[in-house]
Amino acid sequence: MIAVLKSSATKEQIEKLIAWLKSKKLAVHLSEGEFCTILGLVGDTSQIDIGLVEGLDIVASVKRISEPFKRANRKFHPDDSVIDICGLKIGGSDFQIMAGPCSVESKEQILGIAKSVHASGASILRGGAFKPRTSPYDFQGLRADGIELLLEAKKQTGMPIVSEIMNANHLPMFEQVDIIQVGARSMQNFEMLKELGMTKKPILLKRGFSNTLQELLMSAEYIMAGGNNNVILCERGIRTFETCTRNTLDISAVPMLRELSHLPVVVDPSHASGIARLVKPMAMAAVAAGAHGLMIEVHNDPQSALCDGAQSLTPEQFSETAERIRKVREAVAA
């Protein structure tokens, strides 16, 4: 971290600041120039609140040289993290497709979709039991019953399951869920992240719709700081001025996150576009850009889906998409 001091800073003020920084166990490297004084700070600067230093009267500006995240940082963990999900691996050269309905609606529905996507190449079953909805009057999910139905589908197909949590109090219900999803709106629910950090569950952490990659990695850091390193990052589209699509898939997030972090990176092309016919090209693009996995909404009857039908593929469309994904993966790996 580098702090540039104002030329008006007095010697006494500078010494006071240096003493404070040293009390934080940082080595301070002072460089007095003719036009400004620069402090170079060496040590664990991730524990320094940059806003505090910027707020000081004698400080003109502060710049981090190293990122404020450590456990998620590739610099301190050069190899790709590979996360194990009931024997399936994701990360490094291991690729997985998660597929299933936006919402679990009935036993028949979830079992039908699970068997179908399993046969076409999906290895993990997704399904929402708790649904964050903008309106209190919209369908809020089957909740506990939805989790039960997912577990039944897991039993019958052998597929691990992933489902979203909205309240840390619900953790006991997620005991047999294989991957716990943190949705975009909860990415900065820091209290919940802390509790997830105290479990050992793989966490699928979705990027908030207006959050930066650094903020996403800081939220991963919250989970990892508690001792849980099983974090999977998920790009699911950001809010932009474009109105043709529900969100805008930030495809550059894939190589950028892989550069900044060792954690696996997954893309959700269904929420990113909100339009079923864009899912195939977006999924192909995500794989071409280096994604470790995909999360795709599939519904046996999108026209009657209780939620997000407009963005769900039919099982037939999913099968065709999965086939195309295989081809692009070969082109990338070749």
Distance CA 149, CA 103 (A): 11
Q: How far is the CB of 257 from a copy of itself (least distance, A)?
A: 9
Build a one-symbol-per-residue string for 206-225: x at contacts with a copy of itself by CB under 8 A, - elsewhere.
---xxxxxxx--x--xx--x
Q: How far is the CB of 79 from a copy of itself (least distance, A)?
A: 19
Q: How far is the CB of 224 from a copy of itself (least distance, A)?
A: 9
Return the residue of 11, 12, 135, 200 that touches a copy of itself, per CB under 8 A: 135
- Residue closer to a copy of itself by CB (options 33, 87) is 33
List binders of a copy of itself among 162-191 (CB under 8 A). Answer: 166-169, 185-186, 188-191
User: Is 65 a residue that touches a copy of itself (CB under 8 A)?
Assistant: yes
For the chain, the C-alpha Rg in angstroms (whole number) is 23
Residue with tokens 């309106």: 135
List binders of a copy of itself among 247-286 (CB under 8 A). Answer: 248-256, 259-260, 272-273, 277-278, 281-282, 284-286
Tell me the C-alpha to C-alpha distance, in Å, between residue 54 and each of 34, 58, 206: 22, 9, 30
Q: Which long-range contacts (CB under 8 A, 24 or more apart) does 107-113 make?
A: 107/149, 107/152, 109/299, 109/300, 110/149, 110/150, 110/152, 110/153, 111/152, 111/153, 111/156, 111/157, 112/300, 113/298, 113/299, 113/300, 113/315
Return the residue of 127, 293, 302, 315 that touches a copy of itself, per CB under 8 A: 302
Return the residue of 289, 294, 313, 322 that touches a copy of itself, per CB under 8 A: 289
User: Is 47 a residue that touches a copy of itself (CB under 8 A)?
Assistant: yes
Closest CA to 81 of 195, 178, 202: 202
- 320 in helix, strand or coil? helix
- Residue closer to a copy of itself by CB (options 19, 332) is 332
- Residue closer to a copy of itself by CB (options 39, 159) is 39
In this structure, are residues 272 and 290 in contact, taking their beta carbons and an 8 Å threshold? no
